[in-house]
Amino acid sequence: MAAASPNAKSIPQTAPREIPAQPRTPANRLRDPCSKSPKSLSSPRSFSYEDDKNWFSRSHTSSSPSNAPRLHASDLECFHVGQVWTDTGIALVGDGDFSIRLHCQRRQVPAGTSREDADLVICVGSGGTCRPLSEGSCIIGLTYRRHSTKKGKAFLVPEFCTCIVRDPKPVLISCGVATLRKCTDGTSQIVLKRGSNSQALVSVKTKLYSVLNSLARGQQKHSVDEIIRGLNMWTDYELDSLADMSATSMRCLFYNSSSKQQHYKESWNSLFANQPPSNAILRQLQECAEEEAARRRSLPPGTVIEDLTRPWTLPKGNFCHPGQGEFEKPWECAARELKAETGMEWTACRADAPFVDILRPNSLVSMERFFIWRDDSLPAVQEKNESGGEKQWKWFNLADAAHKSETAKTIIGSAQCQDLLKREL
């Protein structure tokens, strides 16, 4: 295997900056959770998976929770907690080289409180007290069951753990590929794709759905700050639907929801009987939607609203571990996401490809990894997807890409990217 290139971690704060990679030490090793002994890394950036009895292969998914395979806490190292999605009851846990979904219970909340405001909890000790999870927590001695979705994606269901401590460590949440090429005129370009508002809006629309459900039941205590913060991501159509705040417009809004479980309920009709709504929470949402619509109308001529609601970014995605088999490796995750979002095959997919790690905005531990790939023979035209439409990606000059995306700006300025652009291929 080729020697690994130096790794740099770039952390966007007030401005993205690079810091030297920390070499792995004996204390910073990956343990196979089904193995009694730690599995060392064969290089700074490649796992020694080949001799592992991967931790999924011990068992298969059972439809009966009582028959689902269990692992003992003594067999496990700690799981660090990255992103926590209270609305879906999921925490992404892992370490600096992988993550997996942990489906948790929610703490019971007082009447009138939305379930999205509840903490995700795990029992400490068998039959012990439930403790909340938060980003930066560390779960020690986790005993869990393994399941898989209908599509074969693996996830964990916790039973209990030894303890939960505060120990913020980076957790690799998603992987992608920064795809570069040099044109015949000597300029360099990079691929960006349209951001998908399916991820950005799922939690926001879920929150709105929960608020409407609770208001229809007469529960009045809700925080809608998350919804208001997310209004800048809504399309003009969605924003107009919220500003209209009628039964018809909300029915259309949830008809187009990406979640099949979220649909308009006839019990909500009474909430929209008056205009403006008599409920103070709905009036607040309506006023904020009208303010955001007015702000967009005041933008300079030529502003592309879609650049605001679906900003350009690098192709990336979360890990998708198979229900049976070993972990999806970071470079495999990156190649799969590039293929799914652009149709491109990452021909240089390998463990020793150069990469840059970046912390997600407003996070201390959730990390993204971008492998850097240059191929001057890549086509300049967009490929077609199976339905005949265009993939939502495009080649940008480096200066334009840096202006469109802070992540792209960080990648382009990294030593790994600059070194690759200077090479003669």
> What is the per-residue pLDDT for 423?
87
> What is the per-residue pLDDT for 258?
52
> What is the per-residue pLDDT for 307?
79
Top CATH class of 173-197+308-422 equals alpha beta
Residue 56 scores a pLDDT above 80: no
Q: Which of 111-115, 258-262, 351-355 has the lowest mean pLDDT?
A: 111-115
What count of other Cβ atoms lies within 10 Å of the Cβ of residue 390? 11
Top mean pLDDT of 36-50, 235-249, 385-399 is at: 235-249
Question: The pTM is what?
Answer: 0.71
Average of pLDDT values for 149-171?
87
Question: What percentage of the chain carries pLDDT values higher than 70?
Answer: 72
Distance CA 173, CA 94 (A): 9
Cβ burial, residue 213 (10 Å; 0-12/13-18/19+): middle
Work out the pLDDT band at 61, boundaries 50, 70, 90.
very low
Cβ burial, residue 356 (10 Å; 0-12/13-18/19+): buried
Query: Which part of the chain is CATH 3.90.79.10?
Result: 173-197+308-422
Q: Which of 25-34, 173-182, 295-304, 331-340 has the lowest mean pLDDT?
A: 25-34
